Structure 1
Amino acid sequence: MNILTISTIDTRGGGSKIPYNIMDGIRKKGHTVSMFVGYKYSNDPDVHKIPLNRLYYRLSKIFANDLRFAKSGMIFKTKEYQDADIINCHNIHSGFFNWADFKRMTREKKVIWTIHDLWPITSGCTNIYGCRQDKPRRVLGFLWDNRNHLLNEKKKVYETSTFDIVVQSEWIMNQLKKSIINNQKMHLINCSIDTNKFRDFEMNQSREELGLPKDKKIILFIAGHGLSHQLKGSDYVKKMILDYSENKDILFVAIGGKKDEEKIKSNPNVHETGYIEDENLLAKYYSASNFLLYPSLGDNLALAVLEAMSCGLPIVSFNTCGIPEAIKDLGYVAEYENIVDLRKGVDYMLSLSTDQKKILGQRCRDNIVKHHSLQKMVDEHEILYSKVINDENST
């Protein structure tokens, strides 16, 4: 098979790495692959950069339209596109892809769209937290609100096109089934990680290597922007840090972003690492901790949750989108935005003995290996690619 993948980024970010991981796994199985991205960070010769329109963001703001002005049309002239048996689109927003090009692809090729967020069924917001705060998008900044037009443009394509959809959680599948895209065929393939890389290292040894204390219970938080990442629940984490500031037996470790305000930085119960890209190092931090505090306000299914559980780390989170599907009964799922219930979850995890944490951690690991391994995700994509390519009823 010859598979062409389209996404925003190749090898950086959390969920942004999933398309590349799938492509690389398919390549290792002997298939021909190529990838087009808006932002390329790897040296992979099979990954090609779509040239960006430097005026894109200015034009999209002036005309209140994020569906136009990109230069993705160049893909149609490439040998990779012309030879492809199937196109696997992932995130096709963020300023590098024209909506009209997706429509054309569905007419010329077999297309699978792996949907990671809510953008395909909204006027532009990508998650429930952002959609709650969505504001009018006015043409020229003061004329009509263009959001209905943007949504109708997407709806027109869905009504006149045929393609397959892959979703990575039951939650997002349910959202799509209630939306303007519900006429397309959908497949559930769980979001997955490399369980060989993210594994359970011995806790005290990991702490020694990382320079972390062995005599404290460590609460881990991870987000791209660290303790200033509101979507990931940083405000709730900072509240917990202050609530436990007098408890010298607890250390909060925050991964990501830059250092936060003085009130947090000066707290001896907080250790901020900054952003960590090295996955092997991340696995050591997961293994060194007692649990992951991840009060996300809008993740479909956060990769950090899967990585942590694969390293034997239980989770405390809000009842948010697809996250409870991964946690199941292997952590604490608090009522959404309920700080009191979240505190109960933190207290519960802190009360676990070393043996209880080890048993729970092993169950977390077993769950991820069984349902969310990278190899399982790659195998299921290979089967789906073959099925769609050989389906005479798809375009």
Structure 2
Amino acid sequence: METKKKISRNLKFLFKTKNKNTHTISFFDSNIFDQIDHFNPDIVNIHWIGNEFISLKQISKIKTPIIWTMHDMWLYTGAEHYTSDERFIYGYYKNNRDKLEKGFDINRWVWNRKKKYLNKNIKIISTSNWQHQNAKKSLLLKDRDVFKIPLPIDTSVWKPINKNNAKNLLGWKNDKIYFLFGFSDYARRNIKGLDIALNLFDKFNEANNDNCILNIFGEIDKKYISKKNINILGNINDQTKLRTIYSGSNLLLNPSRIESFGQIALEALACGLPILINQNTGTNDLILSDEMGYSLENEMNFNFNSLLKWFNQNCINNNQDFIHNKIKENFSYSKIANEYKELVNKIF
């Protein structure tokens, strides 16, 4: 298994691309197929299969009905998990490859394998409107039934701590305004909108007389440690601590340029923290009321005064319980489980 992972993670040596996102080929067989065959389940629900979890060829041999829940764009693209070009819409051909890419066209190769091996009877679930629209535009899935069910969150774990209490637990100052930005892979900083977040923070800080703090968690280049009023929290594996950070913050800056759903945003909202996002992403589905978040229509040209007015109305003394209850009503485990049950009864 480790050898397969190493090969999969080093595909960059076979070709050159400006797309720094994960690439998966799903070429190597695994014993997962034998386990599925042994248990003989009524339904197989596939989620994310990176790191050569199972091969496309093996998936085509599964006799049990399959539901495939998409967590990114991989099911309808080539090898890449996210892309900003349009080959997934028109097909991966020799004449429409990015001219900056060199070497073996691994995306075209994987896309052709998907055409060959993906069973027409696989039922597909998108987790957001953005993802659903992309899937229906894609050449691979446009003629398939694609259903929409969002991802769930455990609202008994992800819930608010009183903001002042959370700040005291973290040693934060009550008279400061705290912004939060988080991601798991620094190489994807452009897609995750790190530059947008830093620009927005500078504007908020200037408007509030340098009284704002930006906390960044996850993998981040240390050169940003020296920027004024920015703290690097590093990777946070303690769920209770992360819940406390969400609860003590005033706004999550989550302006991803490409996002199929937005798990960090969902966690933040469950803890009563409003979010700021780019409008044309899957995260837009999470904003169910004005109190919950703000969508940027254009990252380069937006009305900051309008944004500042919204922020002052909703983020200084926001209603944590109201936001949490909205998430509980729409994204709790029980709610999403019932949606899956209804879908299974409908299609099988």
Range into which the TM-score falls when normalised by the shorter chain:
0.7 to 0.9
In the other structure, the counterpart of 2:166 is 206
Change (3 A) 1:192 1:353: closer
Name the aligned partner's letter for residue 256 of structure 1. Answer: G
Contact (CA 8 Å) 1:232, 1:298: kept in 2 or not?
yes
Q: Name 2:124's counterpart in structure 1.
A: 165
Paired residue secondary structure (2:336): helix
* Deviation (angstroms), 1:320: 2.9
- Please point out which of 80, 104, 109 is paired with 2:61: 104
Distance 2:52 2:234 in 1: 27
Q: How does 1:215-234 map to 2 (within 5 A)?
A: 215-225=175-185, 229-234=189-194
Q: Give the partner amino acid of 2:29.
A: K
Q: Which runs of 5+ in 1 are unaligned?
A: 1-49
> For the aligned residues, what is the CA RMSD?
3.2
- 8 Å contact from structure 2 (residues 78, 107) kept in 1: yes
Q: 3-state DSSP class of the match of 1:297?
A: coil
The amino acid of 2:154's aligned partner reads D
Deviations 1:135-154 (A, max 9, x none): 5797xx646x4543432332
Instruction: Describe how 1:74-85 pairs up with structure 2 within 5 A.
Output: 74-78=31-35, 81-85=38-42
Deviations, residues 287-326 of structure 1 (Å, cap 9, x unaligned): 1111111111111110111111122111111113211111
Q: Which residue of 2 aligns with 1:250?
A: 212
Moved more, 181-190 or 310-319: 181-190
Q: Distance in 1 between matches of 2:41 and 2:100?
A: 37
In the TM superposition, residue 79 of structure 1 has moved relative to its aligned partner by: 6.7
- Quick check: 238-247 or 291-300, which moved more? 238-247
- CA distance, structure 2, for counterparts of residue 267 and residue 200 of structure 1: 30
Whether the aligned pair in 2 keeps the contact of 1:167 and 1:188 (CA below 8 Å) is: yes
The 1-side partners of 2:165 and 2:180 are apart by 17
1:268–1:204: structure 2 CA closer, same or farther, 3 Å change rule? Answer: farther
Q: Is the 8 A contact 2:79 2:106 kept in 1?
A: no
Change (3 A) 1:96 1:346: same
Task: State whether structure 2 residue 52 is matched by structure 1 residue 95.
Answer: yes
CA distance in 1, matches of 2:13, 2:59: 21
| Maintained 8 Å contact 1:291/1:315 | yes
Match runs of 1:118-267 below 5 Å:
118-129=73-84, 135=98, 142=103, 145-158=105-118, 161-179=120-138, 180-225=140-185, 229-243=189-203, 247-258=209-220, 260-261=222-223, 264-267=224-227
Q: Say if 1:136 and 1:146, in contact at 8 Å, map to a contact too.
A: no
Distance 2:132 2:24 in 1: 24
Cα deviation code 1:93-135 (max 9, x no counterpart): 3433321112112xx1111111111111112222344879x85
CA contact (8 A) 2:70 2:125 kept: yes
SS of residue paired to 1:152: helix
* CA displacement at 1:363 relative to structure 2: 3.8
Which amino acid in the other structure matches residue 381 of structure 1?
Y
Q: Structure 1 residue 362: deviation in Å?
A: 4.1
**Which residue of structure 2 aligns with residue 369 of structure 1?**
328
Match of 1:323 among 260, 283, 288: 283
| CA separation of 1:379 and 1:334: change in aligned 2, threshold 3 A | same
1:306 aligns with 2:266: yes
SS in 1 for 2:276: strand
* 1:70 aligned onto 2:32: no
Give the 3 Å change call, closer, same or farther, for CA 111–197 of structure 1 in structure 2.
same
